[in-house]
Amino acid sequence: MIKKIGQCNSLQVLKDAKLSRTSQRVAVLDMLINAERPLTVIQIFRNINFHQKIHKVTIYRILSSFVAKDIARGIPTDEGINYYEMACRHNPVHAHFYCKSCKKMFCLDPATSSRAIELFADLNGFKIEALSLNITGVCSNCNKGGSL
């Protein structure tokens, strides 16, 4: 499991991506930048709306715009829920672990992840747009009754 290291400046990220600077986008982006794990739309919605009111649909649209601009990436679970994380240079594509118990998603070691990903580098004729390696199970905290 890794911890986020690299930090980005949300205003700079938006400027580079040529996305207009709205308070909603800044709020969502700051949340992604500071998150220590991928977040769902609902998690972002709840956290932001503690202080600021943003419509849920807006968060869907903001995240879609981030994904389109390669600012963020979406990680779908077995259970059909999308988690989002930064897709900046500090955070290359990597594998994830999803805990069915606490519903948290953990980022897995990027070195091991990239070794796995490289194995599928040449699927001749097939154009690869995204690769996801997801493990589902129960996290160590939940295993020892941590969710109580």
Partner DNA sequence: ATAATAAATGCAATTAAATTGCAATTATTA
Partner DNA sequence: TAATAATTGCAATTTAATTGCATTTATTAT
Residues lying near DNA in the complex (CB under 7 A) are found at 19-25, 40-42, 53-55, 57-58, 60-62, 64-65, 76, 80-82
Tokens encoding 141: 């905290």
Instruction: Assess 102 for contact with Zn ion (CB under 5 A).
Output: yes
Nearer to DNA (CB atom), residue 19 or residue 138: 19
What is the nearest approach in angstroms of a copy of itself to the Cβ of residue 136?
4
CB 97 within 8 A of CB 137: yes
Instruction: Give the nearest distance from C-beta 22 to Mn ion in angstroms.
Output: 26
Segment 55 to 94, residues that bind Mn ion, using CB under 5 A: 85
107 is an interface residue for Mn ion by CB under 5 A: yes
Cα separation, 29 vs 120, whole angstroms: 31
Q: At what angle do helices 56-68 and 41-48 cross, to 10 degrees?
A: 120
Residues that bind a copy of itself (CB under 8 A): 74, 76-78, 80, 95, 97, 100, 106, 108, 112, 115-117, 119-120, 123-140, 143
Q: Count other C-beta atoms under 10 Å from residue 47's C-beta.
A: 15
Nearer to DNA, 82 or 134 (CB): 82
Token pair 């996305």 is found at 19
Tokens for 108, please give them. Answer: 């897995």
- Which residues, at least 6 apart from 120, have a Cβ–Cβ distance to it below 8 Å? 128, 131
How many residues sit close enough to Mn ion to count as binding (CB under 5 A)? Answer: 2
Minimal distance, residue 11 CB to a copy of itself, in Å: 30
Determine, following the binding rule CB under 5 A, whether residue 139 of this chain makes contact with Zn ion: yes
> Distance between CA 74 and CA 94 in Å, rounded?
12
**Which residue ranges make up the site for Zn ion (CB under 5 A)?**
99, 101-102, 139, 142
